[in-house]
A = this chain, B = another copy of it.
Amino acid sequence: MAVDRRHDDFDLQTFFPYLVRIFYRAVSGSISDIYLSETGLGPPEWRIMVVLGPYRSMSAGEIVDNSSMDKVTVSRAIKKLTTAGLIRRDIDGNDRRRVALKLTQEGIEMWDLLIPLVKEREQQLLDGLSSEERRQLVELMAKVRTNAGRFSEQ
């Protein structure tokens, strides 16, 4: 009458993707705390500010390519940032579908405020890791990412 209880054993607390998730949430939460409390920007708006920076000028599509966000999210965030006066949209003379995006003076000032804070937090996150360990961590994450690419998009 004994039921077969032979299942694959599985421990969530050591399951790698789970560890990655709680790691990611800790890190991203730690950064979003800053730009949220400091400016009220949401994650997509923040990411656009950051890929743009004080010098660069990019199209919406280039931002998509450099931010791992999708078209729609980027388009909406651009609208918000424009309304808030943080970026300027200049329609391209040659190709009138393209819009060149640039931080305004006000946007640059916000960038200047935020960047030192998030860089400081970045260092705090890496506290207690030697530079060799930091290098390793980044390298290992990159390796895993390469593996994911190979096994997913068949």
Interface check A97, CB cutoff 8 A: no
B26 pairs with A111, CB closer than 8 A: no
Interface check A126, CB cutoff 8 A: yes
Q: Which secondary structure characterizes the binding site on chain A?
A: helix
Q: Please name the residue on chain B nearest to A25 by beta carbon.
A: B68
How many monomers of this protein are in the complex? 2
With a 10 A CB-CB cut-off, give which of A116, A118, A144, A145 has the most chain B CB atoms.
A144
Interface check A33, CB cutoff 8 A: yes
Q: Specify which of B8, B116, B147 is in contact with A128 (CB 8 Å cutoff).
A: B147
In the complex, identify which listed stretch (A50-58, A76-84, A86-94) lies at the interface while the others stay far away: A50-58
A sample of 7 inter-chain contacts (CB < 8 A) reads A8-B115, A15-B122, A19-B138, A19-B141, A21-B27, A23-B144, A125-B151
**Which A residues are closer than 8 A to B by beta carbons?**
5, 7-8, 10, 12, 15-31, 33, 50-51, 53-55, 66, 68, 108, 111-112, 115-116, 118-119, 121-122, 124-129, 133, 136-138, 140-145, 147-152
